[in-house]
């Protein structure tokens, strides 16, 4: 693989890597409808606020979300809603796997 090709796939992988965590996928899904502050996401997720803050900074660093400070709160919103389309494909893979698993039991 040439250095140029390698760099291309590394750039892509960095974005996908940022999505490759259940909590971050949940966050992306929650931001689908509206922007939310860290405190709200923390309540929904049920982890330490520092953990949630770090997940958000991962998503922000690759440009998937954007943040906006309003008073003492920081609101995050989805910058690239196209990532939501991932779910459609991913869910179809999950479903196919489950069906194949079932078929094996017959």
Partner DNA sequence: TGCCTATTTGGCCATACAACCAAGTAACCA
Partner DNA sequence: TGGTTACTTGGTTGTATGGCCAAATAGGCA
Q: How far is the CB of 16 from DNA (least distance, A)?
A: 11
Q: Give the 3-state secondary structure of residue 78.
A: strand
Which of 95, 22, 29, 90 minimizes the C-alpha distance to 65? 29
Question: Which residue's CB is nearer to a second copy, number 24 or number 71?
Answer: 24
Ranges assigned E (strand) in the chain: 36-37, 65-70, 73-78
Q: How far is the CB of 47 from a second copy (least distance, A)?
A: 9
Side by side, the strands of the sheet bearing 65-70 are: 36-37, 73-78, 65-70
Q: Which does 59 bind (CB under 5 to 8 A by kind): a second copy, DNA, none?
A: none
Which of 72, 59, 63, 70 minimizes the C-alpha distance to 29? 59
Question: Which residue's CB is nearer to a second copy, number 72 or number 101?
Answer: 101
The interface with DNA within residues 9-48 (CB under 7 A) comprises 17, 20-21, 23, 37-39, 42, 47-48
Interface positions with DNA (CB under 7 A)? 17, 20-21, 23, 37-39, 42, 47-51, 53-58, 67, 69, 71-75
């Amino acid at each position: 693989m040439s250095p140029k090709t390698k760099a291309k796939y590394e750039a892509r992988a960095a974005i996908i890597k940022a999505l490759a965590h259940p909590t971050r996928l949940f966050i992306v899904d929650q931001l689908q409808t509206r922007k939310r502050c860290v405190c709200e996401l923390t309540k929904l997720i049920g982890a330490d606020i520092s953990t949630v803050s770090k997940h958000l900074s991962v998503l922000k660093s690759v440009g998937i979300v954007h943040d906006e400070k309003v008073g003492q709160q920081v609101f995050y919103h989805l910058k690239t809603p196209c990532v939501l389309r991932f779910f459609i494909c991913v869910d179809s893979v999950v479903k196919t796997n489950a069906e194949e698993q079932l078929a094996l039991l017959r």
